[in-house]
Structure 1
Amino acid sequence: MTVTDNIAKNSGETSGGGVNGIINLPSTHTPRGCNIMRPDIVRITELSTPRGTKKDWWTTYGPPLVWGNQETIWQLNPATLTYTPSNRLRELALPKVDHCNKNHFTPEFQYSCGRGSQIWKVKKSAMKAVPTERTMQLAKHKMNPSGFEPFFMLNCGRSSPIWRPSKAALSAKLRPRTALLAQPKELHKNYLPPRQVQTRVSSAIKRSECNEYIHRLAQPKERPDGPFRDAEWPVSKGALQAEPTQRLNELSRPKRLAEGHEASRDGYWRVTNGAKSAVASSRISELAKPIIRATMDHVQFNPDVFQVSPAAKKYIASPRIEELAQPIQRR
């Protein structure tokens, strides 16, 4: 049950009944048989209506269309349905004439993927026809020139290094030199083949007995269980009272710096009193003044930026400048 039905039910119980949100008021307020819709129920009914789509607002013009039926886009006028077309309209309404012969029609895309097939049925008359001399001459395949040898028979476009031996070569007797050259290259006398990853132990090694020296080497090293000396131990009095020799004193000296070495200056140093009480000269004061330039906001809106100075107006140009100021004479 929707919100509208609940409100209509409750309003019907309080006001004497109603159907679909229409309240029947007593006859003291309205004439008998008059139904009035309350404004709040109208608003609730409007809000409970599902929201429609707006995707076709800017793309749909005219009445809604349903594709797949036989209805026209626009409703036809009754006068149009009873109109008698002219001869010109009847002529234009005729379909295009198919000039193809139905008997010899070759269906496209029969033996190919999207292209017209190059294979077509041969006529019976063509099968029984006698070819002319010209047709027989054109039907002959291209003849190979004299001395042609089929190099590209069993390879990919390259002349094969393998050729057929002649009959004389097949029946020739073998010479000692040819037999010597036909033998494969022998391995070196000290050549050893690669060893296998898994080494097989011989039966003699399995049956052999170890001597006393091998048994002694096979025993693990014996280490005492303790107690051991601590990592820190007290220094004896004799070591504390000992005096180092001249050689130990020489070796204990740190490495000295080279003569003339100057340590790196610190990043912060104190200013001397002479520098604090020094008076800058007029040149230093002049160089210390910052260059004051007008901001771009003032320069951009300055009306006198391109104004010519009076001195420039009174200036007399030199002959060279007058020569350069002359326009180029072109024909």
Structure 2
Amino acid sequence: MQKVDSNKCALVNSQMHPVFLCVCVHLHSHCRKVTWGNQETIWSPSRTALIAVPTTRILALSQPKKDLSALSQDLLRKKHEGIEEAKKRSACVPSSTAQYEHVARLATPNVRHRSSQAVSPPHTKQCEHNCPVWHISPVVQNAVASPRILQLAQPRNTHPEYKSNRQVETCISCAAKSAQASPRLEQLCVPKVRESKLFYQLGHPESTIRPVSKGARKATASARVRELSIPKSYIPP
């Protein structure tokens, strides 16, 4: 066996990363199994933190939350039962008698407890919500308007310089009134009709959908364009 120089070992140990050294110490040391509660703190708490007294709010926040898993399971179970019940209802076909009774019940108008045409006091506490009369509370009836409310209720006066039914300042000449539009002017007034580019008219099968211009058909490709048009996998003969 070869002898290992102690100086070399010390030099190697000094150059090793601290984390690697910690891992080596942990692997070669016989320590107890780490479980919940027997770990040592990395940062030692201060003396002030050790003797601190938590407040009532901290104690309330430290309490664990209620376990709502049972409630969520109950909601899921009820939802599943509702879906199953709806499936059963949709599966069973009702009879013609049941359908007739259902249609007759839907066609029957709602019966009011008091007719809107009946003569009765218009403002009573016993009136229902479907009463056609708008009820005004006694507090609103006996309310006294403040001077500011009365001031805001007054309509504004017309401005003294306001002129109603005034004539148009721009005068139209008689020549413009009696002028007649020329055919060219009428042609220019007609809006342009744009062709829809979403659909193409059906033509001969051999005709192109998008027509190629005459210049593009007569164009001559340069050497560079021909070089770029050759596929990469092409092997010349």
TM-score under structure 2 length normalisation: 0.18
- RCO greater where, 1 or 2, for CA within 8 Å and sep 6 or more? 2
Q: From the CA coordinates, give the structure whose radius of gyration is larger.
A: 1
